[in-house]
């Protein structure tokens, strides 16, 4: 297990608040970093293109000010997510801006991130790449990434099919670098479980949609409070890649969640308008939604996760045979 120095020194909790299309905004990212977990957002959320520079300026400045005013507090670095796909015509522009602002971490999704790795390493930035399979993990390692995000069964948005109990140990058998586990992690006990199975960090998305800062309509946040794991539907219809969505939003859009046709991968469109429309109407969510019962401020939620994490550690230590 290994963590880069940047993360070893600056996290209050071993967590990355994952990037979420439309939902992640500077307010959420800044509050996550101030609370001591990595905050992140997809570059494509900053629309139109020039807005990205405003977001980078704001996040960089507010976190620097906060660090100066609270020298004893662990303030986490932030990350920007780049969708590496032919339809993302902003990729070069967005990566160049991240180089200009020396964004501490870039998170890459979909295709192998060679271009992004070279750019980030030019100034000492880190690159973590999203994968759902062993083949993709090996390809990303060839590109020189600094860590792998294993997106397992039950994750919100595009999700893999493998259990974390299968994928993490398999990747660990050939990789001793940073592993970040994604999929239905919504409480402090699951953060500890991610470490126990062999990951260094937990990657949490859906739980942060139901916070005051997240850019999601009140109805979406309430639907998360009202739903449980069985209300999550796994379908490729909306983007061409399998992902997890809230059943109630599919019904509200006039479709039968139990009879959805297959999606067409060739129509995937990042940067155009159709992707935004799909995600605005069809609400992405992971199977951890059954553990969401309120819509707190982000700072309050992270403090709660820390308490749960510590309590889980004590509980496991106290109950494990032969540990005394
Ligand atoms: C609404 C929503 C939008 C998402 N958008 C993105 C995205 O733009 N880029 C990305 O890399 N991952 C995206 N994800 C996946 C998350 O980064 C992460 O893998 C996932 O949320 C973790 O699972 P959890 O939601 O069960 O915690 C999205 C997830 C959700 C729920």
What are the residue boundaries of the structural domains of the chain, listed by start? 5-217+287-322
Q: Ligand 1: residues whose CB is within 6 Å?
A: 18-21, 23, 42, 81, 109, 130, 151, 155-157, 182-185, 203-206, 284-286, 288
What's the token pair of residue 305? 């996760």
319 alpha carbon – ligand 1 mean position (Å) = 34
276 C-alpha to center of ligand 1: Å? 14
For residue 233, list its beta bridge partners. Answer: 245
- Of residues 277 and 155, more confidence is placed in 155
Report yes or no: 125 and 145 within 8 Å, Cβ to Cβ: no
What is the Cα–Cα distance from 125 to 117, expressed in whole angstroms? 9
| 41 alpha carbon – ligand 1 mean position (Å) | 10
Instruction: Give 57-111 pLDDT, tens digit per residue.
Output: 999 999 999 999 999 999 999 999 999 988 899 999 999 999 999 999 999 998 8
**What residue's CA is closest to ligand 1, atom 11?**
109
Ligand 1 atom with the smallest distance to the CA of 22 is 3
CATH tag for 5-217+287-322 (out of 3.30.428.10, 3.30.70.20, 3.40.50.1860, 3.20.20.70): 3.20.20.70
Residues near 295 by beta carbon (within 8 Å), at least 6 away in sequence: 210, 211, 212, 221, 222, 225
Task: Give the integer Cα–Cα distance in Å for 198 and 152.
Answer: 14
Distance CA 237, CA 241 (A): 8
The closest-lying atom of ligand 1 relative to the alpha carbon of residue 44 is 8
Closest residue to atom 4 of ligand 1, CA basis: 20
Q: pTM score > 0.75 for this model?
A: yes
Query: Which ligand 1 atom sits closest to the C-alpha of 45?
Result: 8
First CA to last CA distance, the chain: 25
Closest alpha carbon to 119 in 109, 131, 105, 130 = 105
CA distance 268 to 39: 26
pLDDT in tens, 29-57: 999 999 999 999 999 999 999 999 999 99
In 3-state terms, what secondary structure has residue 141? Answer: helix
Q: How far apart are CA 240 and CA 64, in angstroms?
A: 40
> Which of 20, 91, 108, 201 gets mutated to test ligand 1 (max ligand atoms within 8 A of its CB)?
20
Ligand 1 atom index nearest CA of 154: 26
Please tell me which residue, 236 or 2, carries the higher pLDDT value. Answer: 236
279 band by pLDDT with thresholds 50, 70 and 90: confident
Q: Which atom of ligand 1 is nearest to the CA of 19?
A: 17
Rounded to the nearest angstrom, the distance between the alpha carbon of 116 and the centre of ligand 1 is 20
Torsion, CA 125, CA 202, CA 196, CA 309, rounded to 10: 120
Residue 175 contacts residue 140 (beta carbons within 8 Å): no
CB 313 within 8 A of CB 19: no
Mean pLDDT of 238-250: 93
* Angstrom distances, CA of residue 119 to CA of 97, 127, 253: 10, 10, 41
Q: pLDDT tens, 108-147?
A: 998 888 999 999 999 999 999 999 999 999 999 999 999 9
DSSP 238: T
- Which atom of ligand 1 is nearest to 244's Cα? 31
> For residue 73, how far is its CA from the centre of ligand 1 (angstroms)?
28
Cβ neighbours around 71 below 10 Å, total: 7
Buried (b) or exposed (e) across 112-139, using 16+ Cβ within 10 A? bbbbbbebbeeeebbbbbbbbbbebbeb
């Amino acid at each position: 297990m290994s963590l880069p120095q940047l993360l070893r020194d600056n996290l209050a909790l071993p967590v990355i608040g994952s990037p979420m299309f439309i939902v992640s905004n500077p307010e959420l990212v800044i509050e996550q970093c101030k609370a001591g977990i990595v905050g992140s957002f997809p570059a494509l959320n900053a629309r139109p293109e020039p807005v990205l520079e405003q977001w980078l300026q704001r996040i960089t400045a507010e976190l620097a000010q906060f660090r100066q005013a609270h020298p004893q507090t662990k303030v986490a670095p932030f990350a920007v997510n780049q969708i590496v796909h032919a339809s993302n015509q902003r990729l070069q522009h967005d990566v160049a801006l991240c180089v200009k602002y020396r964004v501490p971490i870039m998170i890459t999704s979909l295709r192998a991130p060679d271009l992004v790795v070279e750019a980030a390493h030019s100034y000492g930035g880190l690159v973590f790449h999203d994968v759902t399979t062993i083949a993709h993990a090996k390809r990303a390692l060839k590109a020189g990434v600094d860590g792998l995000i294993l997106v397992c069964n039950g994750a919100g948005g595009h999700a893999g099919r493998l259990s974390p109990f299968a994928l993490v140990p398999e990747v660990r058998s050939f990789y001793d670098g940073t592993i970040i586990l994604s999929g239905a992690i919504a409480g402090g006990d699951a953060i500890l479980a991610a470490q126990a199975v062999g990951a260094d960090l937990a990657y949490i998305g859906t739980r942060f949609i139901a916070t005051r800062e997240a850019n999601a309509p009140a109805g979406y946040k309430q639907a998360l409070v009202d739903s449980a794991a069985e209300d999550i539907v796994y379908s490729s219809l909306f983007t061409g890649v399998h992902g997890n969505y809230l059943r109630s939003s599919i019904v509200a859009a006039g479709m039968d969640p139990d009879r959805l046709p297959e999606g067409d991968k060739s129509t995937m469109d990042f940067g155009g308008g159709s992707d935004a429309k799909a995600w605005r109407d069809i609400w992405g969510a992971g199977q951890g939604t059954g553990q969401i019962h309120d819509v707190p401020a982000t700072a309050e939620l992270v403090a709660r996760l820390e308490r749960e994490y510590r309590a889980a550690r004590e509980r496991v230590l106290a109950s494990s045979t032969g540990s005394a």
